[in-house]
Amino acid sequence: MPVRPVLELDPERVQRTNTLLCQLWNIPSLRAHQEQAGSNMVKGSHTVLDVPTGGGKTLAFWWPLLYSSYYWSPVNDSPSTRKNLLVISPLVALMEEQAKDLTKRGIPAL
């Protein structure tokens, strides 16, 4: 069954997503491109995110997952709230480091 794109995002869910990401990564706020790229993906828009190393791509990839999993949190990791997100990167070492970091934060990753 094809996934239907979301035309309008729920402002409450957007705020909760931003807050959760900031809490998980211990940052004061997201960068504008992180929320924009994430919301584009939720809306089904083709999205290319070209930012340098350290520019915040990881949070942009996590944004649509947490928005779609509105009730997910590291303390509520039940099968009914689990979602999968595939990130493709040519840098195996970076992916391994990110997976370790996510696991330390209580987010299942491999």
Per-residue pLDDT at 20 exceeds 80 = yes
Q: Note the pLDDT tens digit of each residue in 39-95.
A: 888 887 888 888 888 888 888 888 887 887 755 555 555 665 555 556 566 667 777
| Mean pLDDT calculated for residue range 8-33 | 90
Local structure of 92: helix, strand or coil: helix
**Given pLDDT bands bounded at 50, 70 and 90, which one contains residue 18?**
very high
The CA distances from residue 75 to 19, 31, 42, 45, 103, in Å, are 15, 25, 24, 31, 13
Q: 34 near 59, Cβ under 8 Å?
A: yes
DSSP secondary-structure letter at 62? Answer: H
* Residue entry with tokens 């940052």: 27
